[in-house]
Amino acid sequence: MKKTKFGLLLGIGICALIIVSCSVPKTYSSEPDSQTTKQKSPEMEQVSKVVNYHQNKLQAIYKKHTYHNAMQGDLEFTLYINNEGKVQEVEVKALSGKFYSNFVDELKQDILSWEFPKQDKIIYSFVVSFRKG
């Protein structure tokens, strides 16, 4: 009986850990050191702050489009930022769910207008979950 309770508690703990780890936004960079260290470089922190600042706008665009078309899931964005702080290109990859092209196009247009502090060229990726609720 004790083994069964322990197994159940262990299973619940593992499920909770998986849920928590999946809900954390992921960011990636082209810098090899930033993936292996726990602290982000000052440049990556600046980019991360700008991206976080714009999250509400991305969600507002999502809400506007879900009035017309049902969709949800996770999108990965890869930004190619030049040394002037401008987004030169945005790649969008659906990690889950289905999204309409007009929605993705509007997200790209919005992201292309973002401005970052001037620094070395950087590639920055992040994941956004779009869910109704």
Give CA–CA dist 54/57, Å, rounded.
Answer: 5
The HSE-up count of residue 8 (CA atoms within 13 Å, CB side) is: 5
Residue 14 counted as domain residue: no
Residue 46 counted as domain residue: yes
Residue 119 counted as domain residue: yes
- pLDDT tens-digit profile of 98-115? 999 999 999 999 999 999
56 is in which domain, residue-wise? 26-130
Band (pLDDT 50/70/90 cuts) for residue 27 is: very low
- pLDDT tens-digit profile of 4-24? 555 554 455 454 434 334 333
Residue 6 counted as domain residue: no
pLDDT at residue 59, rounded to an integer: 96
2 or 25, which is more confident?
A: 2
Residue 96 counted as domain residue: yes
Structurally, the chain folds into a number of domains equal to 1
pLDDT at residue 6, rounded to an integer: 53
The pLDDT > 90 percentage for the chain reads: 62
Residue 16 counted as domain residue: no
Residue 54 counted as domain residue: yes
Q: For residue 81, what is the domain's CATH number? A: 3.30.2420
Mean pLDDT over residues 50-79, rounded? Answer: 95
Residue 39 counted as domain residue: yes
pLDDT at residue 3, rounded to an integer: 53
Give CA–CA dist 11/86, Å, rounded.
Answer: 47
